[in-house]
Structure 1
């Protein structure tokens, strides 16, 4: 399973996590989304590396900014 990791700015609570998780999990090829407001980390897993531009757009749609870490 391919993994990509992002740093998300602006998340402060569980509702923030749910918003990001909801938007990212709708993307094609995404199988698992782990997000933490405490660390600002978003980890996305799928059979292939999920499209970075689509992930960044989904995070933006949720109201936050992200940058790829790995």
Structure 2
């Protein structure tokens, strides 16, 4: 019998920077906002605002989508 191939599950990074959009966090993280308040992630994937315009900071609310490209992160 020949040697079998071992297939490992693809690993996903904990942090993904979306061009022109939020930072995605996978798993358990703590985000500290501009006021120094800590916020624990509560979802499998959480989107953190990078444009500074979200009404629900530190979380992304999609506001970056309506900003002109030069104001996006």
For Structure 1 versus Structure 2, the TM-score category normalised by the shorter chain is under 0.3
Larger helix percent: 1
TM normalised by structure 2 equals 0.26
Q: Which has the higher strand share?
A: 1
Larger Rg over CA atoms: 2
